[in-house]
Amino acid sequence: MRVALLSFYPSERDIVPGGIRAVVQNLVRAFQSYADLELHVIHCHSDVSEDRLAREGRATVHYLAMPRRRILPNLVTSVGRVVREVRAVDPDLVHAHAAHFAYAGVKAGYPTIYTIHGVLPREVRIYNRTLYDRLRYGLLAYYERRALRGVRQVVAISDHVLREYAPWGTAGWVRVDNPVPPEFFELAERTVEGQVLYVGSIDERKDLLMLLRAMDRLRAEEPAARLVVAGRVNSPAYERRVRDYVAARALGEVIVWRGFLDRPGLMAEYERAAVVALPSLEENAPMAVLEAMAAGKPVVATAVGGVPDIVIEGETGFLVSPGDDEALARRLGQVLADGSLRARLGRRAREVARERFHVERIARQYYELYGRVLANAQKRD
């Protein structure tokens, strides 16, 4: 069975920005054990400087360059390039992990599965300050509407997706969780007392400012509390607001900026974390939460999107309302101050993650889905 995975993909083995790239790389590695599965990953993005082919085990990765121009030509051009590459690969089916890639799969004329990673109607309400964002999300929404009319199967990675897309009619959609690779379940316990970890991009949707306000409140009661920030800057304007707040509140000694980490560096931070915090305004099934749980770490996060489907209140962590920095500070302080609570939450978090998110389980679900979609497509033809 030849499958084309249309997705963003890491350019280097251990440099994984997270999100879709992490999900698909985890799947590609797990799929290596399926001898009858021929994989072609097609990645078209402005982070690729020139076309090239690479090998990831038995999978072939097609890196397609997309020059940095204005967003409309970029997205439109990338769809055309991906369509041509798909036709050259001539797969049995396509598995797309973004709206414009799903549209490309349908346009290329192949049975297409579309996994929805982000709820576009929600994200457009957050990323709307610039003309760039409005054009980008408007075009993505157009591609998604077109794709949903033509794909053979839609995969929801959280119940949040099913709820948000209910007006489209989600009967027959499939629920498949995001995968976490085995090395996260094997991380050692090297907790640094008072260490709070944030893993994610620095932009409006992630609302790092809420977490900084919580740390400002927390330092009076927990002088040892420190926040480690690991992630890349997606919004320079938002980063300036974050930096200005840190300077204005003299939080420099409380915050450790780690920047964008490779996978070994990220796993080391999970080992040292006492608790992982995610203060987002909107999420679907964030890899930072899944990885933290697999690492045996309690999570304190905002109850937005798909997060309440993952974090079990009082069992694997705690949930607070978005924007409520007082509640966030209180829950973080509670976890940091009580070692037995922290251990209990962490053990249960790892158990739940192993039951739901282990990559071998998720890869098997997708493999079986490929077989069903391909069999149904052959019947139709």
Domain CATH number, residue 131: 3.40.50.2000
> Does pLDDT of 70 surpass 60?
no
- Report residue 276 as tokens: 């992982």
> Does pLDDT of 59 surpass 90?
yes
275 and 174 in one domain? no
Region of poorest pLDDT, from 60-69, 158-167, 239-248: 60-69
The verdict on residue 263 lying in a domain is: yes
Q: Which amino acid is at 39?
A: L
The verdict on residue 38 lying in a domain is: yes
pLDDT in the model for residue 300: 98
Residue 109: which of 136, 89, 86 has the closest Cα?
86
Question: Average pLDDT for residues 358-377, to the nearest whole number?
Answer: 96
* Phi, psi for residue 281 in degrees, rounded to 5: -85, -25
The verdict on residue 159 lying in a domain is: yes
69 and 217 in one domain? no
Domain that holds residue 112: 2-179+358-375
> Does pLDDT of 71 surpass 70?
no
Region of poorest pLDDT, from 89-98, 122-131, 157-166, 188-197: 122-131
pLDDT in the model for residue 89: 98
* Phi, psi for residue 112 in degrees, rounded to 5: -125, 135
223 and 336 in one domain? yes
Region of poorest pLDDT, from 69-78, 225-234, 271-280: 69-78
Distance separating the N- and C-terminal Cα atoms of the chain: 17
* Phi, psi for residue 2 in degrees, rounded to 5: -100, 120
Residues 192-219: tens digit of each pLDDT: 999 999 999 999 999 999 999 999 999 9
The verdict on residue 381 lying in a domain is: no
The verdict on residue 366 lying in a domain is: yes
Give CA separation, 73 vs 69, 76, 170, 294, 336, in Å.
7, 5, 32, 40, 49
| Strand 38-45 versus strand 2-6 pairing type | parallel
pLDDT in the model for residue 224: 92
129 and 21 in one domain? yes
174 and 32 in one domain? yes
Please, which residues have CB within 8 angstroms of residue 27's CB and are 6 or more apart in sequence?
A: 5, 179, 359, 362, 363, 366
Look at the block and give the residue holding tokens 């996260």.
184
Q: Are 321 and 354 in contact (CB under 8 A)?
A: no
Region of poorest pLDDT, from 64-73, 90-99, 256-265: 64-73
Give the pLDDT band (50/70/90) at residue 73: low
Residues 316-341: tens digit of each pLDDT: 999 999 999 999 999 999 999 999 99
Q: Are 214 and 249 in contact (CB under 8 A)?
A: no
158 and 277 in one domain? no
Give the pLDDT band (50/70/90) at residue 47: confident
Give the pLDDT band (50/70/90) at residue 68: low
CA angle 293, 295, 296 (to 5 degrees): 65
> Does pLDDT of 134 surpass 90?
no
Calpha distance 139→169 (Å, rounded)? 22
116 and 231 in one domain? no
With pLDDT > 90 as the criterion, what percentage of the chain qualifies? 80
341 and 320 in one domain? yes
The verdict on residue 289 lying in a domain is: yes
> Does pLDDT of 126 surpass 80?
no
Neighbours of 15 (CB within 10 A): 12
Region of poorest pLDDT, from 172-181, 242-251, 285-294, 370-379: 370-379
319 and 232 in one domain? yes
In three-state form (DSSP H/G/I as H, E/B as E, the rest C), the secondary structure along the chain is CEEEEECCCCCECCECCCHHHHHHHHHHHHHHHCCCCEEEEEEEECCCCCCEEEEECCEEEEEEECCCCCHHHHHHHHHHHHHHHHHHHCCCEEEECCHHHHHHHHHHCCCEEEEECCCHHHHCCCCCCCHHHHHHHHHHHHHHHHHHHHCCEEEECCHHHHHHCHHHCCCCCEECCCCECHHHHCCCCCCCCCEEEEECCECHHHCHHHHHHHHHHHCCCCCCCEEEEECCECCHHHHHHHHHHHHHCCCCCCEEEEECCCHHHHHHHHHHCCEEEECCCCCCCCHHHHHHHHCCCCEEEECCCCHHHCCCECCCEEEECCCCHHHHHHHHHHHHHCHHHHHHHHHHHHHHHHHHHEHHHHHHHHHHHHHHHHHHHHHHC
What are the beta bridge partners of residue 197?
Answer: 228, 276
Q: Which amino acid is at 259?
A: G
pLDDT in the model for residue 380: 67
pLDDT in the model for residue 381: 60
CA angle 192, 195, 200 (to 5 degrees): 125
The number of folded domains in the chain is: 2
Question: Average pLDDT for residues 114-127, to the nearest whole number?
Answer: 82
221 and 146 in one domain? no
244 and 199 in one domain? yes
189 and 60 in one domain? no
The verdict on residue 380 lying in a domain is: no
pLDDT in the model for residue 15: 76
pLDDT in the model for residue 19: 87
